[in-house]
Amino acid sequence: MVFFSGVGVPVLLLSWAVRLNGSPVSTEQTPSTSASAASVSVVLDGVTYVNKGLVGFGLIPSNFKESTGDTLGGIGSAIAFKFGTWKATNGSFSGTLVVHPDRGFNVDGTVDYQARQHEIDFVLSPYTAAANLNFTAAQKTLQLTYRNTVLQVERNNTKTSGLDPAAVRPAQSGFPVVPTADPQMPIASTSEPHLTIDAEGIIANADGSFWISDEYGPYIYRFTSDGHLIQTIQPPKAILPFIDGQLDFTSDTDPDTGRAGNQGFEGLTFDASTGTLYAMLQSATIQDGGDDKSTSRFTRLLAYNVANPAVQAVLTGEWIVPLPLSSKSNTEACSEIHFVSPGIFLALSRDGDGHGGDDNNSKYKQADLFSISKATDIHGSKFDDPANPLAVKGKLDKSIVPATYISFVNFVDATQLARFGLHNGSPSDQTLIDAKWESLALAPVNDSAFPDDYFLFTAADNDFISTQGVSLGVPFNAGLDVDNQFLVFRVTLPSVPRGSIASSIGAL
Ligand SMILES: *[C@@H]1O[C@H](CO)[C@@H](O)[C@H](O)[C@H]1NC(C)=O
Ligand SMILES: *[C@@H]1O[C@H](CO)[C@@H](O)[C@H](O)[C@H]1NC(C)=O
Ligand SMILES: *[C@@H]1O[C@H](CO)[C@@H](O)[C@H](O)[C@H]1NC(C)=O
Ligand SMILES: *[C@@H]1O[C@H](CO)[C@@H](O)[C@H](O)[C@H]1NC(C)=O
Ligand SMILES: *[C@@H]1O[C@H](CO)[C@@H](O)[C@H](O)[C@H]1NC(C)=O
């Protein structure tokens, strides 16, 4: 029973384990482990949240090709359950994930990769025992099947591009100023340079449309179910990138003010009950200390009312979230957020280590919790102007109360990884946990004994790293094979209004 003992609420967890396994887990199955590997309970705003551990693992191989002939990669940048597909059947769970890569294989510079989303069917057969599965058996707990790809276009059916935005298109026909590819680039046969998108977040709406958040703008775009751009949300001036007083969306260099290069809207989530879209920057704006990892922790969370699609989205809130720090006091930037309940969010913050990363040994990859219940709402204040920084050199202005941020689900817990044949640290092989986890999705467990339990899905962005890759039809060898890994945890989230997560994914 070590899997569920040591920390937290053993009585509850024991009964949970007994129920799921049919009989108590025998002590012979108990691996040697530390308390840190056991289930973890944490308290935020007086509510106890519990991480019951890893229950699923799956992968799509690094060399898998999608219907256009390109390598299927980068898909953990953004995931969501396709509305109305989640089903609980006799202890297993099935449905369709919609996943969105970022900007294509860009190890040797950005490419003219058209934004696209893929549908992937899954069957989750949760594994809750303590004994270690081998890597092959572990993959049966989350079986993934690629279905199809929808390519995205803007007005005039013009393809979008993944190229670095070297140009700016003025506002036109109800759309704001947007980042575009270099007008000198001889791309396709249109007169207009292509809208550039580096997608990092996705919301699957009940009406079949999708919200996509992007790093370049950073902007939020709405697409129809068949991939046509219908709406563009531009953030306040404090977040837009300015160089020498001009909007400049390049990600190659940092701007003077606004979002840092490659630190745009990584986080996107939706509260369906109020029609509120939330987007969060990966780390602080430049004027708020975002030019250095040691000062970039105070990032911004924005709220937009999008309940009425016929009118422009309205900024309704803006808060400061203090991201966690490494042992060297560097910011663990945030790759995704997920709405839990009013004022409460999950945040996926991490280093860049693991398979495909800088080092084999990751020290921080967590789905944490934060609350904005006591935080200062700064929207519409002087801080929406970049002339008024709110955290000069990373020191937060005294007038601002930031969100409360606490540690929650640890992805690199050695014992939990070992239960699924995975590990952290050397050696670097297929069973090393991926470096770049960037997505979160919640679904109800539908267990009447534990009505506050949810499955937390997450997937990694493998950066298309494959020795047998294809990008825009051209073969490439990235020198390493990093699979598209997925993990599923079981968590207790008592603040969630009953039924709200089921209704947000159309599971009622
Ligand atoms: C939840 O489980 C019940 C049976 O216990 C089933 O009838 C119902 O369809 C399930 N709900 C979902 C959303 O799968
Ligand atoms: C559900 O699972 C039980 C126990 O494994 C099995 O006996 C039963 O046949 C299953 N029912 C269906 C409809 O698959
Ligand atoms: C993995 O475990 C399964 C189930 O116990 C077993 O059938 C299989 O032979 C094992 N595979 C390897 C490679 O050890
Ligand atoms: C769409 O086509 C019109 C008419 O040719 C042109 O004026 C406009 O610039 C085009 N817009 C885009 C985004 O390609
Ligand atoms: C990662 O592990 C491999 C062995 O699998 C080793 O060759 C490599 O040096 C390690 N990388 C680092 C940064 O430690």
Confidence (pLDDT) at 28: 30
pLDDT value at residue 18: 29
Please state the rounded mean pLDDT for residues 354-378: 98
- The structural domains of the chain, with segments of one domain joined by +, span 2-158+197-504
Give CA separation, 217 vs 118, 180, 344, in Å: 23, 10, 26
Residue 315 has pLDDT above 80, yes or no: yes
Question: Is the Cβ–Cβ distance between 389 and 396 less than 8 Å?
Answer: no
Could you tell which of 355, 426, 482 is best to mutate to test the pocket of ligand 5, judged by most ligand atoms within 8 Å of the CB?
426
Ligand 3 atom with the shortest distance to the CA of 133: 2
Return mean pLDDT, the chain.
91
Separation of CA 446 and ligand 1 centre (Å): 6
For the CA of 87, the nearest atom of ligand 1: 14
- Percentage above 70 pLDDT, the chain: 91
Would you say residue 3 has pLDDT above 50?
Answer: no
Is the Cβ–Cβ distance between 83 and 110 less than 8 Å?
no
Residue 191: what pLDDT? 62
pTM for the model stands at 0.92
Give the per-residue pLDDT at 186: 54
- Check if 498 has its Cβ closer than 6 Å to any atom of ligand 4: no
Q: Given a cut of 80, is residue 7 above it in pLDDT?
A: no
* Band of residue 38 on the pLDDT scale cut at 50, 70, 90: low
pLDDT (average), residues 126-130:
95
Query: Is the bond preceding residue 322 a cis peptide, omega within 30 degrees?
Result: no
- What is the distance between the alpha carbons of residues 234 and 216, in angstroms, rounded to a whole number? 11
Which ligand is closest in space to the CA of residue 178?
4
Strand partners, 211: 203, 222
Confidence of residue 174 (pLDDT cuts 50, 70, 90): confident
CA of 114 to the centre of ligand 4 (A): 18
- Tens of pLDDT, residue by residue over 452-471, are 999 999 999 999 999 999 99
How many C-alpha atoms does 43 have within 13 Å on its Cβ side?
Answer: 4
CA-429 nearest atom, ligand 5: 5
pLDDT band per the 50, 70, 90 thresholds, residue 202: very high
Position 225 scores a pLDDT of 97
| DSSP-assigned beta bridge partners for residue 89 | 92
Q: Which of 90, 446, 500 to mutate to test the pocket of ligand 1 (most atoms within 8 A of CB)?
A: 446
Cα(141)–Cα(126) distance, integer angstroms: 6
Pick the ligand that lies closest to the CA of residue 449: 1
pLDDT digits (tens, 9 = 90+) for 46-84: 999 999 999 999 999 999 999 999 999 999 999 999 999
Atom of ligand 5 nearest to the CA of 361: 14
Structure confidence by residue, pLDDT tens digits, 277-310? 999 999 999 999 999 999 999 999 999 999 998 8
